[in-house]
Every structure is written in structure tokens, then in C-alpha cells.
Amino acid sequence: MTKSAALVLFDIDGTLMRGAGGHHKHALIEGIRVVTNLTTHLDGVPTPGALDRDLILAMLRAAGYSQRRAQSALRPVMAACQNVYASVCKVDLSPFLCNGVAEFIGQVKARGAVLGLVSGNLREIGWRKIELAGLRDYFDIGAFAEDGKTRARLAQIAAQRAKRRNLVARGCRVTLIGDHMNDIEAAKRNGFQSVAVATGVTPFEDLQVASPDHLVRNLSELSVETVL
């Protein structure tokens, strides 16, 4: 099997799609209720760039759990959240794809790159979103909220998984595409090329301050050659 010379990693929310978070937020709240019987909410909790595990912990702490008790409940709550999402989100998410996404990933895949996900979503929620958006066949690997405590660690794990599966060549070019400063920082910490897209809630000017290698307003502005 020929190994690819390029690995392209994508964030999901705000990068591949935007506005598809209603069922996701419901799943986090309902998953907590199922396990703990607590009524929680995400009001006032900044969600862009965050990991689901951190959102769950923040909600549990706001509801009165100690840090130790919240950590103890985290694993069963994460499992419940994913079960809830699978049961309630059965809609077509392709209308929520950001401008240029379908064309860009199709072209990159056709040119032989390996595509992966680096997302703060819980694993089954992330993969389910991609499936409902009609993109599942493009992606080979991913790293999600269960896999690490920081986005930089998730990016590292995603690259390691691609290498362990012999999908990419040694010394391949790795690019991380995201819509938040956390994505830019994750790329820099791993020595990956960073591409920022202003399709999320973070303003173009704020992304510019974080100094990504490339900054575009949406993926229709990004040349395929940039990531190959």
C-alpha cells in the first residue's frame, strides 16, 4: 500500500459545519441528567474551542459537584451523552456544511491525502455528525474529547494513529485546519502547518493575531496545493 505524503486534520464545529449544535447541546445536558439526575445548562459557558469533557465537568461543578465527584461521574456521563445524541439526531446535516468544505475535501482526497478529525466532540457524536453530513467516507482517523485533555494532545494522537495504521509516510506533511485560536495553538505545538478559517464564531481579525500559517475566510479560498 502506498503511504500518503500528506495528512490533513480538520476540526468539526465551525470548520466543517456550523449551526448543527442543537442536538449536541441537548445530548450533553440530557446525558448528565440520565446519570446524575441533575438539571444543568450551558448558559454562559463558552463552547467554541472547548472539549466536551471540559463542558461536562463545568456543568457538573456549576450544579454543585466537587471536582473529585465530577471526575468520577465523567466517564459514565460521556457514554450517556453519546447514546442520547445517537437517538435524537437523525437529521441531514449537509445543509450546515461551511462554504467550500465539500469541494475542498473532495479535491484533497482525490489528490491522495489522508484526512482526519481533531475535535472536541465526544467520539460517537463527532463521527455521527460527519456521517449525517455525508462526509464519512472521506475520513480515515480521528481524535476526540475522550482521547486527551488538550486539543494539542488530540492533534498529536490523530497523527500517531495515521502513522500506526501505515496510512502516511514518515515525515509526511501534517496540516491542522480549524476555526479557533486553540486549533492554531495545537498545530504550532505539534509542528504542524496551521490553517485558520473564519467560518466559526471567532472573528477573522482575532485569528490573524494568532498568526496561523494560512488564514482564509472559508475553504473555497484555500488552494489544495497548500496542504499537499
**Residues contacting residue 22 through CB under 8 Å, at least 6 positions apart:** none
The closest of 11, 16, 61 to 177, measured between CA atoms, is 11
Residue 45: its pLDDT value, please? 86
**Mind spelling out the 3-state secondary structure of 58-74?**
HHHHHCCCCHHHHHHHH
Residue-range domain boundaries for the chain: 4-19+93-227, 22-88
The CATH architecture to which 4-19+93-227 belongs is: 3-Layer(aba) Sandwich (3.40)
Residue owning grid cell 500517531: 160
- The pLDDT, as a whole number, for residue 21 is 86
What confidence score (pLDDT) does residue 1 get? 63
**Torsion-angle region of 219 (φ positive above 0: left; ψ -120 to 50: alpha; else: beta):** alpha
Bridging pattern class, strands 214-216 and 193-197: parallel
- pLDDT tens for the chain, 228 residues: list them: 689 999 999 999 999 999 998 999 999 999 999 999 999 999 988 898 999 999 999 999 999 999 999 999 999 999 999 999 999 999 999 999 999 999 999 999 999 999 999 999 999 999 999 999 999 999 999 999 999 999 999 999 999 999 999 999 999 999 999 999 999 999 999 999 999 999 999 999 999 999 999 999 999 999 999 999
